[in-house]
Structure 1
Amino acid sequence: MRAIITEHRPDVAVLHLRGELDADSAGALHTVLSDLLKRPVPRIVVDLTDLKFCDSIGLSAFITSKEVIVSRGGWLSFAGPRPFMAQLLETIGLSRYFAIFPEVDDAIAAGQL
């Protein structure tokens, strides 16, 4: 993965992922998510717009984090997946486990309800 950019909005962190999320880059994602999990009520939107590829190791980072986030009353949503990512999330059943939105602002608005 070329970059993980964290944007802090009021009460929400937005992770912008770029490139490929695989075994080589999952460690960087785990580090960023661990830092965000230190918030009292973590609210995270993962922007998938520029993510070109994701393997099972990358997906496991989100699954593991979500368990902690939900236990603290927070949420983690995805936004803007490319067709490949949308199909991957649907095929492996994660579209039922994570809320997926077309845009980051949509995810933020839904989380504030």
Structure 2
Amino acid sequence: MDVAVTDCADGVVLVAVRGALDIDSAPQLREAMHGALDRGRSRIVVDLGDVDFCDSVGLGTFAYSHNRCVAHGGYLRLAAPSPFLAGLLDTVGLTGRIPVHATVSDALTGAPPAPRPRDPIEDAPPS
């Protein structure tokens, strides 16, 4: 996994992640976000556009980092997840706590989060 950190306008930090986010690579992402917090940057956007896999440790990293950002008066926003990852984030309940945006631009500007993915079973007509 590769992680790139960019300081953007208004004190927002963009963390771009590429590859698999799993038990082996999640510490690298956590370290990048903690580094931003240690520099006084508590508004973080994570670009998930190039993430091709995410396990429970990766998901836990989002939850933990979200809590730290909020405790420091900021936020964590997730951006551009694949349809599978967006569904996974919704299934485990993170979209109710962490805003998930369709694009990085929307996340950086604070546009409304993307709508929740449709669940074909939940949305099926009653029998």
> Considering the TM-score relative to the shorter chain, is it more than 0.5?
yes
Aligned-pair CA distance for 1:39: 3.4
Residue correspondences, number: 110
Cα RMSD for the two superposed structures: 1.3
The residue aligned with 1:9 is: 8
- Name stretches of at least 5 consecutive residues in structure 1 with no aligned partner: none
- Contact kept? 2:12, 2:41, Cα under 8 Å: no
The residue aligned with 1:72 is: 72
Identity of aligned residues (%): 40
- Following superposition of structure 1 onto structure 2, how do residues 18-29 of structure 1 map, counting pairs within 5 Å? 18-29=18-29
1:68 match: secondary structure: helix
- Contact kept? 2:12, 2:45, Cα under 8 Å: yes
The residue aligned with 1:81 is: 81
The residue aligned with 2:56 is: 56
- Contact kept? 1:14, 1:45, Cα under 8 Å: yes
1:99 aligns with 2:99: yes
Runs of 4+ off more than 2 Å: none
Q: Rg: which structure is higher?
A: 2
Separation in 1 of the partners of 2:26 and 2:90? Answer: 21
- Name stretches of at least 5 consecutive residues in structure 2 with no aligned partner: 112-127
Normalised to the residue count of structure 1, the TM-score between the two structures is: 0.91
